[in-house]
Amino acid sequence: MTPLAEPAAPAAPREEPARPQRLARIRPVAGRVATVMAWLLVIGALLLPNELAKITPWTFLRIPVEAVVGIAVLLALPARPRRVLAILAGAGLALVTVLKAVDMGFYSVLDRPFDPVFDTTLFDPAYVFLTQAVGKAGAIGAVIGVVLLVVALIVLMTLAMLRTTRQLVTHRQTATRATAALVLAWFVCAALGAQVVSDAPLAATDTAAIAKGHAAQIRTSLRDQEMFEGEAKVDVFRNTPGERLLTALRGKDVLLTFIESYGRDAIEDPLYAAQVGSALDDGNRRLAAAGFDSRSAFLTSSTAGGGSWLAHATLNSGLWIDNQKRYNTLVSSDRLTLSSAFSRASWRTVGIMPGVTQAWPEGRFYGYDQIYDAKSMGYQGPAFALATMPDQYTLTAFERLERGRAGRGPLMAEMPLTSSHAPWAPLPRMIDWNNVGDGSVFGPMAKEGESPEEVWRDGDKTRAHYRQSIQYSLTALTSYVERHGDDNLVLIFLGDHQPAPLLTGKGATHDVPISIVTRDRGVLDRISGWQWEQGIKPSKDAPVWRMDTFRDRFLTAYSPLR
């Protein structure tokens, strides 16, 4: 007989693991924190403006109409459509937030919002600038970082929208009452015009207004081509024969020079006016001592902060070129430009283009007989960030390659000076003209100068370098005229655009100074009706024209037999 087994001893009671208990306590807290963060992300995105200058803590203490309407719609929908709408709304809000961020960059640099139709072509130049400012590795890292941030924002915003939607449904009665109260508060604030700060109404419509504005902008941009084609058909000088063009300038060498980022603020903003004004005053004295007289005014550029080629095309063509599509259409046409007008009138025309570092098919449109790019000007020194060579070398090369040649005929040259191009570091200095040589003498300056990274970490230092670059360009140009100018030289120099709003501040004009310098009083008498001021420093009361009006006025003044 098998003996009965003794009953097993009762098992000792097992203790609940500490970790699940901690998780049980933490989970509700984490859930509440996640819910609060989701609401903050959604509301913050709705209230976020698209200009850096408008961002303050008070900006986010307002009632977004989009949230009020969105809550009401979500509460009214059945479960499945509600979830689909939440996903679409989250992804859409993320994309609008990205658009706001891009707008911030465009307002900061170009003083206008992003144009989805025309501005995608500007990302390549932006990458080039970034490479110059922080290096190739830094630029690549920045691009990768931006892509990852966009993806993360879309995911997080969608999850946040789903979480807030679940909370609304879970607390439907409370949410309904709160929505009714918010609707009433929004309408009262809107009716009273209540504001938390200037231009920030409590009854906010930021996101809807920005989305609506960009939608209207897209429609306008899509129609812009048709408008531009109509404007381009009007050209009173299209068929003017060469023998009737520019007769009042026969025998003159005409030098059209753009100074990069030389804007009205350079001579009027207290941050720059004293030093730049001193360079202009010194230039006036030196030019007068060399027998030159001058007249000055302002032109309103078609761009600001960048896009120099748009301003060059505007001045040359007499058409308002403020986007890349207009520019591409223009340079594919046979529009008469200032340079092609001189060519038609039997001047030799050249483009001195230190900023051109690759193929430039647009050069054919301008009608130059010869184009000198960065590679064909003989420069053996270092680049100064985006300036491939110092302005003093550019002017020296022009004199050696073209104007100083014996036995030549009348010359017309267009020459952008680039030493004042952002990022304004490192900067060259003036040296004895006899020592310029092949430009290798500038090597130590590039090494000694501060890097763009060092300069752009400090706003005051950035502004100081900008000011110094304008002083340098003006000094180089006036010194060139003093040294090489003669009775046949007519110099037209102007800025292409204002620098970025980071330097000028919000609300700056798009005006740039323009001056005509010559020894021949007859040349200046031709423009006496323009009421331009004497000297190369226009006052705040000097005339202001749109830049696209210059071509026709200039050709009219100097083609009296047209």
- What is the secondary structure of 43-75 as a DSSP string? HHHHH--SSGGG--GGGGSSEEHHHHHHHHHHH
CA 465/CA 449 separation, integer angstroms: 11
Closest CA to 517 of 251, 250, 255, 246: 255
pLDDT score recorded for residue 1: 42
Q: What percent of the chain has pLDDT over 70?
A: 94
In our burial notation (b when 16+ CB lie closer than 10 A, e otherwise), range 352-368 reads bbbbbeeeeebbebbbb
The separation between the first and the last C-alpha atoms of the chain, rounded to the nearest angstrom, is: 137
Q: In 48-171, which ranges are continuous DSSP H helix?
A: 65-76, 79-110, 123-134, 136-170
Q: Hey, what amino acid is at 481?
A: V
CA 34/CA 465 separation, integer angstroms: 46
Please, what is the Cα angle at 472 between 304 and 494, to 5 degrees? 40
The model carries a pTM of 0.83
Please, what is the Cα angle at 355 between 104 and 429, to 5 degrees? 95
Q: Which residues contact 174 (CB under 8 A, 6 or more apart)?
A: none
Mean pLDDT on 287-315: 96
In our burial notation (b when 16+ CB lie closer than 10 A, e otherwise), range 510-519 reads bbbbbbbbbb
For residue 226, pLDDT over 90 is answered with no
SS3 assignment, position 476: helix
Neighbours of 27 (CB within 10 A): 10
CA 527/CA 296 separation, integer angstroms: 11
Q: How far from the centroid of its chain's Cα atoms is residue 381's Cα?
A: 29
Task: Please count the CA atoms within 13 angstroms of the CA of 326 that sit on its side-chain side.
Answer: 26
SS (H, E, C) 334-382: CCCCHHHHHHHCCCEEEEECCCCCCCCHHHHCCCCCEEECCCCCCCCCC
For residue 2, pLDDT over 50 is answered with no
Q: Hey, what amino acid is at 127?
A: Y
Question: Residue 546's beta-bridge partner residues?
Answer: 300
Query: How deeply is 176 buried, as exposed, middle or buried, from its count of CB atoms within 10 A (0-12, 13-18, 19+)?
Result: middle
For residue 11, pLDDT over 60 is answered with no
Mean pLDDT on 44-58: 89
CA 193/CA 19 separation, integer angstroms: 54
* Residue whose token pair is 């941030």: 149
pLDDT score recorded for residue 428: 96
pLDDT score recorded for residue 7: 53
pLDDT score recorded for residue 8: 53
Which whole-number Å values give the CA distances from 297 to 141, 149, 544, in the listed order? 44, 46, 6
Q: Hey, what amino acid is at 523?
A: V
Q: Which of 324-333, 467-476, 532-541 has the lowest mean pLDDT?
A: 324-333
Closest CA to 316 of 526, 548, 517, 516: 548
Token representation of residue 116:
């989805």
**pLDDT tens, residue by residue, 432-480:** 999 999 999 999 999 888 888 889 889 899 999 999 999 999 999 999 9
pLDDT score recorded for residue 449: 82
pLDDT score recorded for residue 224: 87
Q: Which residues contact 273 (CB under 8 A, 6 or more apart)?
A: 266, 267
Token representation of residue 437:
């040589």
CA 327/CA 332 separation, integer angstroms: 9
Token representation of residue 424:
């304004």
CA 130/CA 286 separation, integer angstroms: 38
More confident residue, 359 or 554: 554
Mean pLDDT on 204-213: 90
**pLDDT tens, residue by residue, 252-299:** 999 999 999 999 999 999 999 999 999 999 999 999 999 999 999 999
**pLDDT tens, residue by residue, 132-147:** 666 778 778 888 988 9
The confidence band for 353, taking pLDDT boundaries of 50, 70 and 90, is very high
Closest CA to 299 of 493, 113, 528, 505: 493
Radius of gyration of the chain measured on its C-alpha atoms: 32
* Cβ contact 317:219 at 8 Å: no
For residue 524, pLDDT over 90 is answered with yes
The confidence band for 220, taking pLDDT boundaries of 50, 70 and 90, is confident
CA 150/CA 156 separation, integer angstroms: 10
SS3 assignment, position 111: coil
* Residue whose token pair is 């030196």: 286
The confidence band for 548, taking pLDDT boundaries of 50, 70 and 90, is very high
